[in-house]
A and B are shown apart, each in its own frame.
Chain A
Amino acid sequence: MTGAMTGAAPEPIIRVRGLVTRFGAQTVHDNLDFDVWRGEILALVGGSGTGKSVLLRTILGLKRPEGGRIEIFGKDPETLSPRERRGLQRRWGVLFQNGALFSSLTVAQNIRAPFREHTNLSQKLVGDLIRVKLQLVGLPQEAGAKYPSELSGGMKKRAALARALALDPEILFLDEPTAGLDPIAAAAFDNLIRDLQRSLKLTVVMVTHDLDTLAAITDRIAVLLDKRIMVGTMRELMELPHPWIRDYFHGPRGRAAFGGQG
């Protein structure tokens, strides 16, 4: 694996301590502790219903945790003033599972939205930057004038990624970025994310079910299991004896994806 952190001690960019989330009487996460390091690609995996998306939503502040604390850039978002929170939101980008593009706006207007909200650049510069973002994610300029309903699934994801990258965030959150894409498009999307992560020096946190993605681009993997979390490189995790992890990495699909490394 290519450790993004070769040499220097890893700097935690997100720190989660003692996180507890519940829905009614049902506990989803019980006392989670983990860090996300600056500059890495961390994948969140786990069976259905283990709360991967819930964890992501909790970190994003869309769901309030029942206990514990989350620090992003060294600060707990819960304690920030609304103004500081907006500052924080500028520093991350989120790609939702189905893109969540605003359906009443064209792709270009979608990408323009965060600029409008957070910057006061000249119209011309914003237009140019939108072109740059479209190119970064591999969309033709013509896509800018289209509405989300006129795009294919893969193009929607790219457009949503362009919006997430609009303000040059430091952290990029991805919720199942390759779900619903064909294997070729999924591989291309993986490469795109790896590429952007390197050249823009992003920290990426992604929920994924895609074993190929895990094998191809992640630095570390966080497994949600039995309400707890285990974080490690793929090699470390593969040696753990837990039956779910064994089935996950050593099952037929896992073997196919990790063949070279298993």
Chain B
Amino acid sequence: MVRVGGPWTLATASELERALAGIAIPVEGTAEFDLSGLTALDTAGAFLLYRLIRRAEHQGLAHQLHGLSPEHEVLLERVTPPADRKSLSRDDVSPLRAMVERVGHATFEIAAEGRDLINFFGLTSVTLARVITRPARIRFIALSSHLEQVGLNALPIVGLLSFLIGVVLAYQGADQLRAFGAEIYSVNLLGVSVLREIGVLLTAILVAGRSGSAFTAEIGTMKVNEEVDAMKTLGLDVMEVLVIPRLLAVIIALPLLAFFGNIAAIAGGALMSVAALGLSLPQFFEQFRSAVTPGTFWVGFVKAPVFALLIGLVGCYEGLKVEGGAESVGRMTTKAVVESIFLVIIADAAFSILFSWLGL
């Protein structure tokens, strides 16, 4: 005879479970449960009660319940779980195996991503060619709005950061070269590194973080809202409407921004040279002119449209790959930024190799 009393609820479940584990079930006879003392029962309590009764059954005992109120009886019936217990988690694999699997998956995913990106580049090129031969198809309003967002609105941040990098470069260069009494050459260092590499690279990274991510988020949100599907059913070409204006905007804006960034960085370097090296401005520019040629500028500047293309492509591509909910927008945006910066730096390295091979 088991006397069950008091509240059997979630609040007491922990205690009850421990107490029940200590109860020895007799080997034979009839298990009788007196439940008339039960003051409260919820699903947690009912489940423990069910488990107790099952234990008795398992021992091969017949059981009888006394004093169970009708409501409690309903509850007891409801908590009876299905006979077959199934795992509540994904199939349990060993962590090591899971890691190997993840690496494998990631490898294949990267390969697939690369292939898809090249496909997307092809599709974009075809669309671009079609649009350019019939310029009436270019969405000029969208284009100018994107130009404002990508280009004009980025001026302050690009200008400020380039200026500061210019300051830092001039100072660091002067500091090191002072040991050789060659501080003046920090102007050469500044000019060449800014014009060839840093100006355009820094601008590209800023634009990737600012605008590439915005492309993904905008297009991705439109996908989540089914706006992209609505466009397709209305016969609008998604590539023409969404991708081309953004891509053209970034290809036009990024070189301009890079040019502006170059000027800001050199201004920063000039300021620092005047302040820290004691050069006068005419001296600075005299030295600067002897250090760099228009070629130096062009070698850096020619990279800008290529970086812009990469940023625009990746931003739009990841946006169109959004599927499901808002969570996917966030994930793809992160991915777009990482991927476009990665590709920009790869491309920069490729340019370096190309230029050294060309002897520039």
Contacts and interface: CB of A to CB of B under 8 A. Distances in A.
Interface in B1-18: 9-10, 13-14, 17
Contacts of B42: 168, 200
B325 interface: yes
B73 to A, nearest CB: 10
B74 A122 contact: no
Interface string A127-159: 111111101100001101100010000000000
B81 interface: yes
A107 B16 CA distance: 27
Given A129-B44, A141-B82, A200-B42, A168 B9 contact: yes
A104 interface: yes
Interface stretch (B86-94, B197-205, B348-356): B86-94
A145 B89 CA distance: 5
Contacts of B324: 149
B144 interface: no
Interface residues of A, number: 30
A260 B270 CA distance: 88
A6 interface: no
Nearest to B76: A199
Contact of A131 (B17, B44, B85): B85
Contacts of B82: 131, 135, 141
A108 B86 CA distance: 12
A38 to B, nearest CB: 14
B71 interface: yes
A194 interface: no
B327 interface: yes
A199 B71 contact: yes
Contacts of A104: 327
A106 B47 contact: no
B43 A106 contact: no
Interface of A is mostly: helix
B229 to A, nearest CB: 18
A198 B51 CA distance: 23
A120 interface: yes
B75 interface: yes
B27 to A, nearest CB: 25
B53 interface: no
A149 B326 CA distance: 11
A121 B81 contact: no
Contact of B43 (A121, A129, A144, A198): A129
A199 B75 contact: yes
B327 A144 contact: no
A119 interface: yes
Contact of B10 (A127, A141, A167): A167
A125 interface: yes
A131 B84 CA distance: 11
Contacts of B206: none
B17 A122 contact: yes
A108 B89 contact: yes
A172 B85 CA distance: 28
A127 B88 contact: yes
Contacts of A119: 10, 13-14
Contacts of A133: 43
A127 B325 CA distance: 28
B14 A135 contact: no
B343 interface: no
A132 B88 contact: no
Given A136-B78, A141-B85, 15 more contacts: A108-B88, A119-B10, A119-B14, A121-B13, A121-B44, A122-B17, A125-B13, A125-B17, A128-B81, A132-B81, A135-B82, A136-B43, A141-B86, A149-B324, A201-B71
Interface of A: 103-104, 106, 108, 119-122, 125, 127-133, 135-136, 141-142, 144-145, 149, 165, 167-168, 198-201
25 contacts: A106-B88, A106-B89, A121-B44, A122-B14, A125-B13, A128-B81, A129-B44, A129-B47, A130-B88, A131-B88, A132-B43, A135-B81, A135-B82, A136-B78, A141-B85, A141-B86, A144-B86, A145-B88, A145-B90, A167-B10, A198-B74, A199-B71, A199-B74, A199-B78, A200-B42
